[in-house]
Amino acid sequence: MTEAGENAGVGETRRVRVVLVDDHRMFRTGVQAEIGETERTGVEVVGEAADVDQAVTVITATRPEVVLLDVHLPGGGGVEVLRRCAPLMAAAENPVRFLALSVSDAAEDVIGVIRGGARGYVTKTITGSDLVDSVFRVQDGDAVFSPRLAGFVLDAFASTDAPPVDEDLDRLTQREREVLRLIARGYAYKEIAKQLFISVKTVESHVSAVLRKLQLSNRHELTRWATARRLV
């Protein structure tokens, strides 16, 4: 586990002020318990938020050094938080920096928040010690990614050409895309619910919405649609 003293020079204790943004209270509680013991980790959690509006309000009020930001949030998602907090990220002194922390490992999610201004992207499989280390690195201005996700960013920015717009995919919300991808990978509704921390009924509602928006009839057609677009 990274200790506060390991991030500090001789005679000083390194500290970083953090805001947690995630729509699952139990997950926020878990992260707080894992990294928020300030005397041990150097991380001080100064605020929490569960949706876009709350996030912007708390971040503006507390001006943390680092925000741990979920990609999928009520009110427009992590990208909307980044858009509305752009002036704070651009501040000449004490800029607020963002590190995406999400269950999703989808290329479009990673690229979306990086284009929005986040300094990195790690998945929720990260250990507590690695998350603490990532927070301090982002505070220092480094870019931090879970290993396999870095390739998405390199590929996306290797070309100056913007990726083509998929109007069908744009009809879906971020959460609907996430459910779509897991359905196409063969996950059962119960497995999806567990992985995304939502109810089976909510999964069913998302699937119904996806089928309606894409004008598809069943799970088999949905899987073929996702495979054709390399979303699986």
92: DSSP letter: S
Taking the C-alpha atoms of residue 232 and residue 185, their distance in angstroms, rounded to an integer, is 6
Closest CA to 70 of 18, 108, 21: 21
CA Rg value for the chain: 18
pLDDT at 185: 83
pLDDT at 2: 47
Pair of tokens at residue 200: 């089976």
pLDDT at 203: 92
CA distance between the termini of the chain: 34
pLDDT at 155: 67
Give the contacts of 90 (CB within 8 A, at least 6 positions apart): none
Q: Identify the segments of the chain with pLDDT beneath 50.
A: 1-2, 5, 9-11, 160, 162
Taking the C-alpha atoms of residue 141 and residue 135, their distance in angstroms, rounded to an integer, is 10
Task: Give, in order, the Cα–Cα distances in Å from 39 to each of 2, 14, 35.
Answer: 11, 10, 10
Taking the C-alpha atoms of residue 187 and residue 193, their distance in angstroms, rounded to an integer, is 10
The pTM score is 0.66
Kindly tell me the burial class for residue 192, based on how many C-beta atoms sit within 10 Å of its own C-beta (0-12, 13-18, 19 or more). Answer: buried
